[in-house]
Amino acid sequence: MQDLRIQILQFAPAWEDIKATQQQLAIQFKELKDVDIVVLPEMFLSGFTMNPENSAIDQNSEQYKFLLEQSKVLNCVVCGSVIWKDGDKYYNRFLWIEGGLEKYHYNKRHLFSLAGEEKVYAKGEKPIIIDYRGWRIAPFICYDIRFPVYMRRRKDFDYDVLIVVASWPERRHFAWQQLLAARAIENQAYLIASNRVGIDGKGILHEGGSGMWDYSGKKKAAAQSFKEERVGVLLQKESIEKFRNQFRFLDDADEFRIEY
Catalytic residue among 16, 98, 108, 117: 108
Which residues contact residue 14 at a Cβ distance below 8 angstroms, ignoring those fewer than 6 apart? Answer: 20, 21, 24, 46, 47
Do residues 211 and 8 lie in contact, with contact meaning Cβ atoms separated by under 8 Å? yes
Catalytic residue among 76, 98, 142, 170: 142
The C-alpha atoms of residue 210 and residue 46 are separated, in whole angstroms, by 18
Do residues 49 and 75 lie in contact, with contact meaning Cβ atoms separated by under 8 Å? no
Would residue 102 show up in a list of annotated catalytic residues for this protein?
no
Backbone phi and psi for residue 172, each to the nearest 5 degrees, phi listed first: -120, 30
Q: With CA atoms as reference, report the closest residue to 81 among 101, 99, 55.
A: 55
CA 153-82-196 angle, to 5 degrees, is 80
Q: With CA atoms as reference, report the closest residue to 193 among 214, 203, 204, 47.
A: 214
Would residue 76 show up in a list of annotated catalytic residues for this protein?
no
Catalytic residue among 16, 42, 98, 170: 42
Q: Which is it for strands 211-213 and 219-222: parallel, antiparallel or unpaired?
A: antiparallel
| Helices 62-74/18-30 angle, 10° precision | 10
Q: List residues with catalytic annotation.
A: 42, 108, 142
